[in-house]
Amino acid sequence: MHTRDHARKNDTNADEMAELFTRCEFARLLGIRVLELWPGGAKVEMDITDKQNPLGNMHGGAVFSLADHAFGLAANSGGIQEVALSAQITYISPSTGRLVAVAERVSENEHGSLVSVRVWDDERLVATFEGIGIRLAQGKKGRDK
């Protein structure tokens, strides 16, 4: 897989964030598993079982959801709270196996961040995803008015 080696940050925030995203009902429904989490990055996986389109490939919505979950972890790691402002995906090749998504925060400022996600089926790049996160006011959990 084409990723840089990262040591998982063994701090309380990383553990709490991984647990929070592991408990996410939608992620559990899709079978998404958190593999690694570090400040500004994350690695998650999902298999194809029960997620195929009519052609037998991984459904594009499932690929997007995996990438979005990795984006959320990366955008919220390191004690930052962000929600997605926008997201865009490019599908490169179909997948019929286990997918791994690797997310990295590539830019940030006081308002938010840009996170790049690559989705892999073994050594084959399946999709690229870019998400823009917007910072929440301290203490807010995503239901702002």
Confidence of residue 29 (pLDDT cuts 50, 70, 90): confident
pLDDT score of 19 more than 90: no
Lowest mean pLDDT among 1-15, 37-51, 53-67, 89-103: 1-15
Give the per-residue pLDDT at 63. 97
Delineate the domains of the chain, giving CATH numbers in brackets. Answer: 12-135 (3.10.129.10)
This model's pTM is above 0.95: no
Read out DSSP for 79-135?
A: G--EEEEEEEEEE-S---S-EEEEEEEEEE-SSEEEEEEEEEETTEEEEEEEEEEEE
pLDDT score of 67 more than 70: yes
- To 5 degrees, how large is the angle CA 16–CA 48–CA 118? 60
Give the per-residue pLDDT at 20. 75
Average pLDDT over residues 17-21: 76
Give me the count of residues in the chain: 145
pLDDT score of 13 more than 80: no
Q: What is the pLDDT of residues 82-130, one digit of tens each?
A: 999 999 999 999 998 899 999 999 999 999 999 999 999 999 999 999 9
The C-alpha atoms of residue 49 and residue 139 are separated, in whole angstroms, by: 37
